[in-house]
Structure 1
Amino acid sequence: MHPAVSPVPGPGPAKRNTTWWWFLVPTFTCGFGAFAMVFTGGYKLKSRAHMAAAVAYLVVTVGFACGAGLTAPDDPSADRGTAYDLAMAAFLLIVWLGGTLHTVFLQLKVAKQVPPPPAVAAAAWRVQRREEARELVRSNPGMAWELRIGRPDIEGRQYDDGGLVDVNHMPAAWLAYSLQIPQPLADEIALQRGLRQGFTSPDELVVYCAGMTPERMAMIRDLLLFRPL
């Protein structure tokens, strides 16, 4: 029987995007807040085009704010007064009205996004944890060793590394359990790592362990960690 593994906390349940209020920002700020909401929508949709449009809204907004003082509406000059009216009309059309409609469009698209199932979200979260743990192993191996990264077999470990497996140090029984591989293959890995003073890469497991096929390696590669013996 394999040792019991304490449950690892993961991300909470996925929530739907709440966007109904977005259009209020450009509407009640006379268009000055349009760029912020368009950028938010573009970011959530991972759309460079919408984020570029947000930058354009910002440029127009700043340009209008800077230029508004150059032509006052009560200027006695007819030309300057007309220029001000045209600038105001253009701003209202492009940023206030256009930005509000653009925001409504984006808020509807973002609201329709279906959040990933909880299991998928948890798996993605664990992938991120593994990346962070690997970076810690590279940047601060001493701290990584103290945190027992890749060693779920050590009792009392508190750091969650996303399921990394230290191939060169974990007992064979735990290799089988953590990697979901047959026990004879785990025993073979333990034998070969002793003969070769440890493995240095996933490819070596395929070369030196007869039971480790490329197909099986493809499934577990992201979990493997190779600390020197």
Structure 2
Amino acid sequence: MEPFRPAAPPGTRSTTWWWFLIPIVSFGLASFVMVFLGGSKLGSRAHMWSAGAYLLADASCFVGLLLPYAPDGQIPPASTALILLYLAVAWLGGTLHTLYLQQRVARRDPPRLPDPAVAAAAWRANRRTEARQLLTTNPATALDLRIGRPDITGRQYDDGGLVDVNHVPPAWLAQALQIPQPLADEIAAARMQHDGFSSPEELLIYCSGMTPDRLALIRDYIVFRPL
């Protein structure tokens, strides 16, 4: 008995839905390919061996077509029998067999949906890109939306987690950027001494606790609105 596997969520489409089309459009000639594929995915020797029967049906059809016709133009009974056998086994039987296998494989390997956490992270990355564009093209709107200011309560715009390094208090710098508090204090002191930062690289120049590796981790989250 096969182990229980959860069904695919409603609205998802199995990656095997098209399998049955191969025997149909190939007039059964490719039935053995799809049956062998389905059998191999299920680990079923019986289905893989049955693919050989479809291959033999293909061969019987070719033999039937190659048999010489009678002088009166009639198809010899032997040819007719072989062709009918092919139609019954390789074309019709292969299509039905493939339909069965594709459903078995779909139940065994339901389509994978994106992880909700990964999808949420991608959405927030897009929000950061949108918010950066607002900072560049419409600074007044960005100021009104409090972009980069997680320390201000009551914000209604989600900027994806941006942090305005020139204005956010040191405690919020440490929390929002997940950096040590001493480094956050050093950033706050350096921004006052140099009238704010204008680029991520200045953090490396003026803050001894900032390293290239740490900057690479936070680069996508930091913005620099003038003081």
Q: Give TM-score, length-normalised by structure 2.
A: 0.53
Q: Per-residue displacement from partner, 1:17-45 (whole Å, max 9, x unpaired)?
A: 841799xxxxxxxxxxxxx98xx233xxx
Query: 1:104 is matched with which residue?
Result: 104
The whole-number CA distance in structure 2 between the counterparts of 1:84 and 1:138 is 69
Asked if 1 retains the 8 angstrom alpha-carbon contact of 2:149 and 2:163, the reply is yes
The whole-number CA distance in structure 1 between the counterparts of 2:164 and 2:170 is 11
CA apart distance, 1:211: 0.8
Change (3 A) 1:91 1:162: farther
% identical aligned pairs: 39
Query: 1:153 is matched with which residue?
Result: 151
The whole-number CA distance in structure 2 between the counterparts of 1:191 and 1:175 is 12
Q: Which amino acid aligns with 2:161?
A: G
Query: 2:170 is matched with which residue?
Result: 172
CA apart distance, 1:200: 2.0
CA apart distance, 1:104: 1.4
CA apart distance, 1:215: 4.0
Unaligned runs of 5+ in 2: 28-73
The whole-number CA distance in structure 2 between the counterparts of 1:91 and 1:186 is 71
Q: Does 1:129 align with 2:123?
A: yes
Query: 1:6 is matched with which residue?
Result: none
Query: 2:197 is matched with which residue?
Result: 198
Unaligned runs of 5+ in 1: 1-16, 23-35, 43-49, 65-76
Q: Secondary structure at the match of 2:14?
A: helix
How many residue pairs were aligned?
Answer: 168
The whole-number CA distance in structure 2 between the counterparts of 1:151 and 1:172 is 12
Query: 2:223 is matched with which residue?
Result: 226
Asked if 1 retains the 8 angstrom alpha-carbon contact of 2:162 and 2:223, the reply is no
Asked if 2 retains the 8 angstrom alpha-carbon contact of 1:199 and 1:205, the reply is no
The whole-number CA distance in structure 1 between the counterparts of 2:159 and 2:210 is 24
The whole-number CA distance in structure 2 between the counterparts of 1:226 and 1:185 is 17
Change (3 A) 1:105 1:170: same
CA apart distance, 1:154: 1.1
Q: Secondary structure at the match of 2:109?
A: helix
The whole-number CA distance in structure 2 between the counterparts of 1:140 and 1:84 is 70
Q: Give TM-score, length-normalised by structure 1.
A: 0.52
Query: 1:189 is matched with which residue?
Result: 187
The whole-number CA distance in structure 1 between the counterparts of 2:94 and 2:148 is 55
Q: Which amino acid aligns with 2:199?
A: T
Query: 2:7 is matched with which residue?
Result: 19
Higher Rg: 2
Could you say what the CA RMSD is over the residues aligned between the two structures, in angstroms? 4.3
Q: Secondary structure at the match of 1:41?
A: coil
Asked if 2 retains the 8 angstrom alpha-carbon contact of 1:168 and 1:227, the reply is yes
Asked if 1 retains the 8 angstrom alpha-carbon contact of 2:20 and 2:98, the reply is no
